[in-house]
Every structure is written in structure tokens, then in C-alpha cells.
């Protein structure tokens, strides 16, 4: 059976979300923990948009250049439910 890249990223994304959730549930964080939470968020965000990009590339999409394209397409196709802030910096 062929390993599908986006499914591997999905698995890693789910693990990253669980780790980020632990930081959030902890409540008050010291400075080092805050830095760890920021890094965990950045890592989770990167995994999310790259997973979306890989998924749509497998579906035949070829014009996804970066996170903005991937997230916008996911919103348009209903994978992301709340896209109100996607165009905030345009």
C-alpha cells in the first residue's frame, strides 16, 4: 500500500495539535513555556497548510504556491469553516 503524503502530515498534525492543547490547558506559563507554545503553534500551522496543499495536489490542484493559497482553497471548498480573517492582510 502506498503511503500518501497528506495522510502522514495529517497524523503529524494531529499529534502537534495535542501537544499545543497541553500548553493551552496548562494555563499560566513561564517565559520558557511561552516560547515553547509559540514554537508549537508555528509548527502546527506549518503542518496544517502543508497537509492541505498535499491533499489538494493529490486531487489535481497545481496552483498552490503557499499557505495563503492553501488556506483560501480549503475555505472555498469547505474544509475550513471560518475564513473571515483569511483576507485580513490583503
Residue 1 has what pLDDT?
41
Residue 27 has what pLDDT?
86
User: Cβ of 73: how many Cβ atoms within 10 Å?
Assistant: 19
Q: Strand, helix or coil at 58?
A: helix
Residue 11 has what pLDDT?
94
**80 to 8, 36, 38, 64: CA distances (angstroms):** 19, 26, 22, 16
Residue 90 has what pLDDT?
42
- Cell numbers for 61, please give them: 490542484
Q: Can you give the pTM of this predicted structure?
A: 0.79
The per-residue pLDDT string of the chain (90 residues; one tens digit each, 9 = 90 and over) reads 456 889 999 999 999 999 999 888 988 989 999 999 999 999 999 999 999 999 999 999 989 999 999 999 999 999 888 756 555 544
* Phi, psi angles (nearest 5°) of residue 72: -60, -45
Amino acid at each position: 500500500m502506498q503511503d500518501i503524503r497528506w495522510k502522514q502530515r495529517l497524523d503529524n498534525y494531529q499529534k502537534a495539535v495535542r501537544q499545543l492543547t497541553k500548553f493551552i490547558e496548562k494555563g499560566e506559563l513561564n517565559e520558557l513555556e511561552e516560547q515553547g507554545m509559540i514554537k508549537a503553534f508555528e509548527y502546527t500551522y506549518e503542518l496544517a497548510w502543508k497537509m492541505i496543499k498535499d491533499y489538494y495536489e493529490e486531487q489535481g490542484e497545481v496552483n498552490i504556491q503557499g499557505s495563503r493559497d492553501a488556506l483560501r482553497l480549503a475555505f472555498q471548498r469547505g474544509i475550513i469553516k471560518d475564513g473571515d480573517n483569511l483576507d485580513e492582510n490583503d
